[in-house]
């Protein structure tokens, strides 16, 4: 049973077998709050790896599958079949499994970006899921308590009308050419598996989703410069993007995988007529808030001046004990569990959806088109 007394949700997984970083993260996130039991998996496209991975995770032999198609059919027919599935494959393998499980009436938890092409994203959005199956896109950074608080503060008018947004996500792990043995790098730099975007699809979409989540501003158009600095690389490894928002606000987004000395430097700065906010993912339990003409205030996760979302809905342990990446991921899993159980009204608008996934692909494609046109301002609605 889950910690709140509710029955645990039977979970399956597609991808994420032996050696897969993101599969491990999803499994830990699903366990943290006791809402899920992993009972089935098609953990690799290679049958021997799928079987070995399933055994390592303690899955029953008859619930270790070598294809997602077989898994969707078999689990939908079982009286004790999975109720939700986590899809943690490379981008080009999101659409097929998501379609199969939604049409089988099984809830889908899908890693981002939603698909590798805008066409597949739109086709997925047009599916009518069987039995009302729900969809969660794991933009996990939206699960941080202080990000939820920042959203509340913007909505309350604490910053006034938003003028300027700065978002960045620099890394350095692809600063040099990699070989085929580096599986994480190999698919991310391969257009056939990653899609049209490299750094922009892998981490730029996180920064973009974060600024959209916190501000609620609708993007009008982008002017982008996408670069592949490493010789021979087929996809971008550095992006600079200017953004125009409806209502007049302006933004800048930088994402890089060749910024030497940077690890996972996701940060967000928002400035309005009355105040500003600054938050960094590498120190996520603290956020600076400045009212114009007044000293800076340091807001802490669960602290004395935390907003309602941070102090009640999303905090597991007392302030001063750090929570981080895995807990933010777990927040999405836990709150999606409430949605699955029909108890998720409190989380309306907080969990990333199919629509967010489609917009993420529009952002990628508009940025690619803009860069190919030497930075021409390109509307998201044009792609």
pLDDT tens string, the chain, 383 residues long: the values are 476 678 999 999 999 998 889 999 999 999 999 999 999 999 999 999 999 999 999 999 999 999 999 999 999 999 999 999 999 999 999 999 999 999 999 999 999 999 999 999 999 999 999 999 999 999 999 999 999 999 999 999 999 999 999 999 999 999 999 887 888 999 999 999 999 999 999 999 999 999 999 999 999 999 999 999 999 999 999 999 999 999 999 999 999 999 999 999 999 999 999 999 999 999 999 999 999 999 999 999 988 766 665 545 678 988 889 999 999 999 999 999 999 999 999 998 999 999 999 999 999 999 999 999 999 999 999 99
Q: Is 291 helix (H, G, I), strand (E, B) or coil?
A: strand
| DSSP state letters, 12-65 | EEES--TT-HHHHHHHHHHHHTT-EEEEEEE--SSHHHHHHHHHHTT--GGGB-
For the whole model, what pTM was predicted?
A: 0.95
Query: Which residue from 181, 202, 198, 184 is spatially nearest to 234, judged by alpha carbons?
Result: 198
323 vs 45: CA distance, rounded Å = 34
126 vs 330: CA distance, rounded Å = 28
Phi/psi class of residue 374: alpha, beta or left (left: φ > 0; alpha: ψ in -120 to 50)? left
Query: Which residue from 358, 354, 355, 366 is spatially nearest to 98, judged by alpha carbons?
Result: 354
* 300 beta partners: 286
Structure tokens of 138? 């794991």
Query: Which residue from 350, 328, 347, 330 is spatially nearest to 339, judged by alpha carbons?
Result: 347
The arrangement of strands across the sheet holding 219-227 comes to 297-300, 286-291, 275-280, 267-272, 162-170, 250-256, 238-245, 219-227, 378-379
235 vs 364: CA distance, rounded Å = 12
Place of tokens 């599935």: 85
Residues near 40 by Cβ (< 8 Å), separated by ≥ 6?
A: 10, 11, 12, 13, 59, 63, 64, 65, 71, 75, 81, 82
Which residues in 191-237 belong to E strands, given as ranges?
219-227
């Amino acid at each position: 049973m889950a910690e709140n007394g509710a029955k645990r949700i039977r979970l399956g997984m597609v991808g994420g077998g032996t050696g897969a970083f993101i599969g491990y993260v999803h499994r830990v996130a699903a366990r943290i709050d006791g809402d899920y039991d992993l009972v089935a998996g098609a953990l690799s496209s290679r049958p021997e790896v799928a079987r070995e991975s399933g055994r390592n995770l303690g899955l029953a032999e008859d619930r270790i599958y070598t294809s997602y198609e077989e898994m969707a059919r078999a689990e939908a027919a079982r009286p004790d079949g999975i109720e939700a599935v986590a899809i943690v494959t490379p981008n080009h393998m999101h659409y097929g499994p998501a379609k199969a499980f939604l049409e089988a009436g099984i809830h889908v938890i899908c890693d981002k970006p939603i698909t590798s092409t805008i066409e597949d994203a739109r086709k997925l959005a047009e599916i009518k899921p069987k039995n009302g199956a729900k969809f969660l896109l794991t933009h996990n950074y939206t699960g941080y308590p202080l990000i939820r608080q920042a959203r509340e503060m913007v909505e309350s008018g604490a910053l006034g009308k938003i003028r300027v947004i700065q978002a960045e996500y620099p890394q350095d792990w692809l600063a040099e050419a990699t070989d085929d043995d580096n599986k994480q790098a190999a698919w991310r730099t391969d257009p056939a598996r990653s899609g049209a975007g490299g750094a922009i699809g892998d981490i730029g979409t996180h920064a973009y989703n974060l600024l959209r989540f916190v501000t609620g501003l609708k993007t009008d158009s982008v002017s982008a410069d996408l670069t592949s600095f490493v010789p021979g690389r087929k996809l971008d490894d550095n992006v600079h993007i200017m953004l125009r928002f409806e209502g007049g606000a302006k933004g800048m987004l930088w994402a890089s995988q060749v910024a030497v000395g940077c690890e996972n430097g996701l940060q967000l700065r928002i400035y309005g007529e009355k105040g500003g906010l600054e938050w960094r993912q590498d120190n996520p339990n603290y956020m600076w808030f400045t009212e114009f003409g007044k000293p800076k205030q340091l807001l802490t996760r669960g602290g004395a001046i935390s907003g309602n979302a941070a102090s009640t809905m999303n905090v597991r342990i007392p302030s001063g004990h750090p929570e981080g990446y895995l807990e933010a991921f777990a927040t999405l899993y836990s709150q999606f569990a409430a949605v699955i159980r029909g108890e998720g009204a409190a989380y309306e608008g907080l969990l990333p959806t199919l629509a967010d996934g489609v917009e993420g692909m529009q952002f990628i494609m508009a940025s690619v088109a803009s860069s190919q046109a030497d930075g021409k301002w390109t509307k998201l609605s044009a792609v």
